[in-house]
Amino acid sequence: MADVTVDLDSIGKRILLGRDNGQAARVHFDLDQYSPDVDRIKLTVSPKISGKSTHVNSSFFLGMFAKDIQSLNTSNAFFSYVDIGEIPDYIQPKIKRAVDIALAEQRFR
C-alpha cells in the first residue's frame, strides 16, 4: 500500500472551484495511477496562503474525485481511500457534501 500526499497548495491558487479545474487537478496530480485497492491518498491544504483563507468548493472536489467516489459506491469506502483529516475543518463539510452529490448522481443514472 502506498501513501500518497496530494498537496492542494501546490496548485498555486487559494480559491479552488469548478469541475473543470478539479479535473485539471486530477490530471496535474496524476490521480488515475492510484487504486483504492492498494493506495491511500492524503489530501492537504493550508488554511491560509499568504495570510488569505483557502477555499475548496464541492464542484472542484467533484472534478477531482467523482470517478473514485462513484466507483467505490459509499462514502465510507471513499474516505478510507482519501484521507481529509488534514484539510481545515471549515472545508471538510464541502468535501463531504461533494461525496453525497456524487453518490446521488450515480443513483439517478
pLDDT in tens, 6-44: 988 888 888 899 999 999 999 999 999 999 989 999 988
The percentage of the chain sitting over the pLDDT mark of 70, rounded to a whole number, equals: 92
**From CA 57, how far away is CA 45, in angstroms rounded?**
13
Listing DSSP states for 91-105 in one string gives THHHHHHHHHHHHHH
Of 1-5, 79-83, 93-97, the one with minimum mean pLDDT is: 1-5
